[in-house]
């Protein structure tokens, strides 16, 4: 039994120094009314046709640096979790110029607390119909894009605990192997091509083993995923009280193993907290309600978003004979589960390891 659960980089964003001869725009992104620096927000460079020509995350003091591909006119769009997106007036930059441009973001906050869950579904396309669905989709997109952005940079080293567990049919632990390492990279899984997942499914047999795939940020935003899933807003309850979810399920008629789940956001801050998912139409006649995974997210003081903890649970399946002698029927039986996962214990600094607190979204 194998799970598609592969490591990659998830670290805090860094502002890279541009080439000396490039056209650069730099400055600080702050909230217009309070003057508060907006850390961990995207600043996007758009040309006059509205095409994206560059993107960066602000650092812990709201600073940003963008490199323009050529001289000309541009706009800057801000994408900050918890605030509506805002686009600046046109800005001209000359050949080889270094332009300082302060961004005083006047965008109002996103108010998820007022979102009313209606049960409406959007299928086969981007869930941007209606104010509630559009707001949930946009804030979830910002969070996942911030995590994906940070995957590509290695400016922080993490202390990470990874584990493998064998569970019985009641999900009681039978065995666990774990290791604690210091590494620059952390990602719970890396999906394969979204079109391949849409056509082949998220669970399949290859080279004598069953492979389980999970949706990462690129897959969730892809056209094949949007075309094969329905989205709806759901209310959090119990441990998720105070959260609102953007749930996804396969469209009707899907006949390959697929995924359903939800992206959970904080109603007050609009911050992405959790991705949960399960599998549908498994190629075994066994219960599937305990098969799936979870990814928890955390915000660092710098504003960078990381995966804080994760797990994926896959079934261990056997074959049993059933029926009278000479007319045996072979069927699948659930023997137990294999669960792989991990968590970030802290960030490694020159002074040692700064631990992440238990609970909450980041350091207090």
* 268-281 tens-digit pLDDT: 999 999 999 999 99
What local confidence, expressed as pLDDT, does residue 356 receive?
77
Q: In this structure, are strands 243-250 and 258-266 parallel, antiparallel, or unpaired?
A: antiparallel
The pLDDT score that the predictor gives to residue 21 is 66
pLDDT (mean) for 89-99:
96
**Cα-atom radius of gyration of the chain, to the nearest Å?**
23
**How much of the chain exceeds pLDDT 70, in percent?**
87
Residues 6+ apart with CB under 8 A from 291: 278, 279, 282, 313, 314, 315, 337
What is the average pLDDT score of the chain? Answer: 85
Strand ranges inside 193-304, DSSP E: 203-206, 209-212, 229-235, 243-250, 258-266, 272-280, 292-299
What pLDDT score does 190 carry?
65
CA distance linking residue 338 with residue 344, whole number of Å: 21
pLDDT at 126 over 80: no
Say if residue 3's pLDDT is above 60.
no
Give the confidence band of 355 by pLDDT, cuts at 50, 70, 90: confident
Query: Among 183-187, 236-240, 256-260, whose mean pLDDT is lowest?
Result: 183-187
Strands 272-280 and 292-299: antiparallel
How far apart are the C-alpha atoms of 116 and 1, rounded to whole Å?
42
Residue 328 has pLDDT above 80, yes or no: no
pLDDT over 50 (residue 351) = yes
Asked if residue 167 lies in contact with residue 24, where contact means CB atoms within 8 angstroms, the answer is no
Say what the pLDDT of residue 287 is.
Answer: 82
Q: Decide: 182 and 354 in contact? Cβ < 8 Å.
A: no
**Mean pLDDT (whole number) for 283-299:** 89
- Is residue 283 over pLDDT 70? yes
User: Using CA atoms, how far apart are residues 303 and 59, in angstroms rounded to an integer?
Assistant: 7
List Cβ neighbours of 36 (8 Å cut-off, separation of 6 or more): 30
Q: What pLDDT was estimated at residue 1?
A: 37
pLDDT tens digits for 38-85? 999 999 999 999 999 999 999 989 999 999 999 999 999 999 999 999
Give me the residues paired with residue 260 across strands.
278
Is residue 221 within a helix (H) or strand (E), and if so which, with residue range? none
Q: Is the pLDDT of residue 235 over 60?
A: yes
pLDDT, tens only, 129-188: 666 778 888 999 999 888 888 777 777 788 999 999 999 999 999 999 999 999 876 666
CA distances from 125 to 146, 230, 273, 340 (A): 22, 8, 24, 32
How far apart are alpha carbons 129 and 232 in whole angstroms?
11
Residue 293 has pLDDT above 80, yes or no: yes
d(CA 321, CA 114): 55
Q: How far is the C-alpha of 248 from the C-alpha of 9, rounded, in Å?
A: 26
């Amino acid at each position: 039994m194998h799970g598609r659960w592969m490591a990659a980089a998830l670290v805090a964003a860094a502002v890279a120094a541009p080439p000396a001869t490039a056209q650069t725009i730099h400055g600080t992104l702050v909230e217009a009314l309070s003057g508060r620096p907006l850390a961990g927000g995207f600043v996007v460079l758009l040309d006059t046709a509205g095409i994206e020509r560059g993107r960066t995350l602000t650092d812990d003091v709201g600073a940003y640096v963008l490199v323009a591909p050529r001289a000309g006119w541009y706009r800057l769009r801000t994408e900050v979790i918890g605030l509506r997106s805002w686009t600046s007036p046109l800005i001209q930059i000359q050949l080889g110029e270094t332009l300082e441009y302060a961004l005083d973001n006047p965008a109002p906050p996103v108010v998820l607390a007022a979102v009313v869950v209606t049960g409406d579904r959007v299928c086969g396309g981007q869930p941007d119909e209606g104010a509630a669905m559009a707001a949930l989709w946009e804030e979830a997109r910002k969070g996942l894009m911030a995590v994906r952005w940070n995957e590509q940079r290695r400016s922080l080293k993490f202390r990470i605990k990874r584990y493998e567990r064998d569970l019985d049919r009641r999900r009681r632990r039978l065995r666990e192997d774990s290791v604690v390492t210091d590494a620059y990279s952390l990602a719970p899984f890396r999906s394969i091509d979204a079109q391949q997942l849409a056509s082949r499914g998220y669970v399949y047999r290859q080279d004598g083993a069953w492979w389980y795939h999970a949706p990462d940020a690129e897959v969730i935003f892809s056209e094949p995923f949007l075309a094969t899933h329905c989205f709806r807003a759901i209310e959090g309850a119990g441990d998720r009280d105070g959260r609102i979810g953007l749930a996804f399920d396969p469209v009707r008629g899907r006949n390959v193993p697929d995924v359903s789940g939800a992206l959970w956001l904080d109603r007050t801050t609009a911050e992405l907290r959790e991705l949960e998912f399960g599998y549908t139409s498994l190629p075994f006649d066994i219960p599937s309600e305990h098969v799936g995974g979870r990814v928890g997210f955390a915000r660092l003081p710098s504003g960078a978003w990381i995966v804080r903890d994760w797990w994926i649970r896959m079934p261990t399946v056997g074959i049993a004979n059933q029926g009278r002698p000479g007319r045996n029927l072979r069927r699948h039986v659930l023997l137990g589960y294999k669960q792989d996962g991990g968590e970030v214990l802290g960030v490694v600094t020159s002074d040692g390891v700064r631990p992440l607190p238990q609970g909450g979204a980041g350091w207090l």
